Amino acid sequence: GPAISPFNAWVMLKALETLPLRVRQQAHNAAIVADWLAGRPGLSRVIFPGAKNHPQAEIIARQMTGPSTLVAFEVEGGKDAAFRFLNGLKLIRISNNLGDAKSLIVHP
């Protein structure tokens, strides 16, 4: 049915207690990753809402209280190079389940 079980509701409520703290840290970490990626060889572009050079930085500053938890970037060399990069990762997993508690990457 449309209602979750009492146990599942309790688990979700417990997780929500620390959500602001976790999102704040995720956004902080994403900013560090975006700064590290900027200017790296083999990347043609880094897109991070919260970066001062983002094309919509003024709108982001007005509408958001902090930076994003997501970082996007383009790998030079097209799709083949992007998939070589993805397949070479050891720590970050390929997944389309954005919003998970792990560091994930996905090719659009």
pLDDT at position 1? 67
Contacts of 98 (CB under 8 A, 6+ apart): 70, 104, 106
- 6-76 CATH fold: Aspartate Aminotransferase, domain 1 (3.90.1150)
- Helical axes 19-37 vs 6-17, angle rounded to 10°: 60
**Alpha carbon distance 37, 7 (integer Å):** 41
Full-prediction pTM beyond 0.75? yes
Residue carrying the six token digits 């995720």: 26
**Alpha carbon distance 99, 53 (integer Å):** 25
Domain regions of the chain by residue span: 6-76
- 89-98 residue pLDDT tens: 998 888 887 7
Residue pair 86/105 in contact (Cβ under 8 Å)? The answer is: yes
